[in-house]
Amino acid sequence: MGTLICKPISSWIKGLGINPAMADAVILYNSDWNPHIDLQPQNRAYRIGINMNGGQKQRIQLARAVYNDADIYLLDDPSSAVDAHTAAILFNNCVMTALREKTVILVNHQVEFLS
């Protein structure tokens, strides 16, 4: 049996920061995922502000889920709090690219991503 990651629709984020290894992975993979991460001069994300909006929280939660490298992903509307342009970037870079070798169960209200 493989490992399962569940990304709920509501995202809970602590204001303490993120794992530096995960931050490096997100920045190296696609810095557009969350342009609001504070960067040190070495381009290393080190702290996330405590007053993030819903879309910023969703991008961090999605990055955390991908970083865990599970076998099965259950994503509950991961683009519900972002605009259409950002949703397309997340879908293409995350679901279609980063998770292409994984089993993904996607609940989504944007029908353009279902084809």
29-87 pLDDT tens trace: 444 545 555 554 454 444 555 567 788 778 878 888 888 888 998 888 888 888 888 88
Q: Which domain holds residue 105?
A: 4-113
**What are phi and psi for residue 85, nearest 5 degrees?**
-65, -45
Number of domains forming the structure of the chain = 1
DSSP 8-state secondary structure symbol assigned to residue 40: -
> What's 59's domain CATH number?
3.40.50.300
> pTM for the complete prediction?
0.62
Tell me the per-residue pLDDT of 88-105, one tens digit each, with 9 for 90 and over.
888 888 888 989 999 998
Query: At 10, is the pLDDT very low, low, confident or very high (cuts 50, 70, 90)?
Result: low
Half-sphere exposure of residue 102: CA atoms within 13 angstroms, side-chain side: 24
pLDDT band for position 16 (cuts 50, 70, 90): very low
Instruction: Output the pLDDT for position 100.
Output: 92
Q: Give the span between the Cα atoms of 71 and 114, in whole angstroms.
A: 21
